[in-house]
Amino acid sequence: MLLPPPSSSDNTSDEATTVDTADVADAADTTAAVLQPCQNRRHGAEQTRHMQRQGFGVYKLILLLIYGCCFWFLFKYLFWDHIQRRFFPEQDNQKYTDLLDRIDLNCNGILNNDPKIIQQAKMMRYNTHFVEKLILDADDRCLAIRSLFGFDNRPNSEAERDYPLAYGLIVYKNLVQVLFMLGSFYRPQNEYCIAVSGGAEPMFKLIMGEVDKCFSNIRVLNRPRIDWGSYEIINSTFACLNVLSSSETPWKYFQYLAGVDIPLKTNLEMVEILKQWNDTVNAEITWFQPKRIRSKRIEAAPLPLYKASLSATVPRAAIDEIVKSSEARSLLYFLLNTSIPDESFWGTLTGNADSESFLMNLSFPVPGGTDAAKWLEYREGYRKNHTEQLKRFEKQKHRMRYYLSRYQLWDTNCRGKMASGSCIFGISDLPDLLKQPHLVAHKLYIDFEPAAFFCGLKEIRSRERKPLRLDVKPYNEIPQVELSMGVPFENLSHPLWLF
């Protein structure tokens, strides 16, 4: 069966359909062309937003890192060191161990005069630069200083706790030696004032500043440059006296120290000795040499002048009187024009307690002081009448005498080496040195036969840990103590101790 051919209407319809489809296609192309820029803009906006989101993420990451670093530093420096000390003290002790205990020396052999041991000890050298670096690199310098140099954190006895002492120091070099020395004298119940010379090296000043921050009972003063024999020595000492006098700690005695001293007695032994002194001053008593005044002055000295070492042991009442007195300030002003003015300070202020100069009719009744004029007059008379006795007395190695604050050698009996007329004690001096009745030895250097310095400190530490019985009776019989009790010069128990 054959299909009929398409009608004309059908052809028309197909053509129309064909035209309509083409038009739609053209319209679509036109629309696409119109919409393309919009789509491009939309795509660009999306890309921009995407990039912004990425940038914001990086920004947030940077902020997070900054906040994290800030938090870490705040936490570490404000809290972590405290947490370590409070909850993990054993870790700190492992990090910093006591240097003195770690030094391997046969001190018993030295003290027993073993020639082989002494010769070996003389070869010892000590690397202070390593110790300085250890302190500088420490995360917690306070912990390092306390641990490395053996600073006690509690009194060793009730007697020491109830009898605090005060110390004044002037230092300018040998940082490690100063810290070893300070650690050997340090007790938490005592008070300390340290004057640092303006001429000291920056690192020295830095670490001494740390010491000031680490210990509530140590005050460090930054002073002008201090040279040997300069006026600033006594000026800085007086500044420390003011600091210590204003302290609320009820300390009993003040003692001046130099940076090259070591203790010859434990803190407990010093307390027992000082209790015997009846609040008297222990200072040298010698004549003042007029040639020390550099030029003629219109004004006279405010008090009769006497000479004494700056190393003295002075009761609290005397210090309090001195720092508030016009006589002390007048004396300081007068000493500006004298040579080595520090050697005219204690002798003058504590040697005019009772005397009345026939020239000036002046006295300064400082508590615990002496009448230096009568003392020197009686001593000279005794010397003339007891020449042989005095010669025998002066040959004694470990003799008691009136001045016991510091032991220092000025003659050829020195077995170390001499410097500026004074002995720098060495290893061969140590056995006799540690038997002296004095409180302090002056001077030992960490860079000259350091075994002497370290064995001296080790011996005192050993006696701290295992106290020995000290016979304190002789300390109660020194001349100034008996004189303070009303005993006349003629009836002194030991007149040879006046020398």
Closest by CA position to 331, among listed 346, 318, 317: 346
Least-confidence region, from 46-50, 63-67, 83-87, 94-98: 83-87
Give the model's pLDDT for residue 438: 99
Q: Please indicate, yes or no, if residue 148 is contained in any of the structural domains.
A: yes
User: What is the pLDDT confidence band of residue 35, given thresholds at 50, 70 and 90?
Assistant: very low
Closest by CA position to 416, among listed 42, 91, 122: 122
Q: Please indicate, yes or no, if residue 147 is contained in any of the structural domains.
A: yes
> For the purposes of burial, counting CB atoms within 10 Å of the CB of 453, is it exposed (0-12), middle (13-18) or buried (19 or more)?
buried
As a whole number, mean pLDDT of residues 279-285 equals 98
> For the residues of 158-201, what is the DSSP string, one character each?
HHHHTS-EEEEEEE-S-HHHHHHHHHHH--TTSEEEEEEPTTS-
Say yes or no to pLDDT of 280 above 70.
yes
For the chain, how many residues are written?
Answer: 499
Q: What is the pLDDT of residues 175-228, one digit of tens each?
A: 999 999 999 999 999 999 999 999 999 999 999 999 999 999 999 999 999 999
Torsion on CA atoms 36, 42, 48, 49, rounded to nearest 10: -160
Say yes or no to pLDDT of 34 above 60.
no
Give the model's pLDDT for residue 44: 59
Q: Which residue has the tokens 């100034």?
A: 480
Give the model's pLDDT for residue 36: 55
Q: Please indicate, yes or no, if residue 76 is contained in any of the structural domains.
A: no
Say yes or no to pLDDT of 90 above 60.
no
Do residues 239 and 223 lie in contact, with contact meaning Cβ atoms separated by under 8 Å?
A: yes
Separation between Cα atoms, residue 295 and residue 286, nearest integer Å: 22
Do residues 286 and 379 lie in contact, with contact meaning Cβ atoms separated by under 8 Å?
A: no
Q: Please indicate, yes or no, if residue 207 is contained in any of the structural domains.
A: yes
Separation between Cα atoms, residue 69 and residue 209, nearest integer Å: 28
Q: Please indicate, yes or no, if residue 305 is contained in any of the structural domains.
A: yes
User: What is the pLDDT confidence band of residue 64, given thresholds at 50, 70 and 90?
Assistant: confident
Q: What is the pLDDT of residues 385-423, one digit of tens each?
A: 999 999 999 999 999 999 999 999 997 789 999 998 999
Q: Please indicate, yes or no, if residue 28 is contained in any of the structural domains.
A: no
Edge-to-edge strand ranges of the sheet holding 191-196: 218-222, 191-196, 165-171, 253-258, 313-315
User: What is the pLDDT confidence band of residue 100, given thresholds at 50, 70 and 90?
Assistant: very high
As a whole number, mean pLDDT of residues 482-490 equals 98
Q: How many domains does the chain have?
A: 1
Parent domain of 474:
132-498
Give the model's pLDDT for residue 91: 43
Q: Please indicate, yes or no, if residue 106 is contained in any of the structural domains.
A: no
Q: Please indicate, yes or no, if residue 8 is contained in any of the structural domains.
A: no
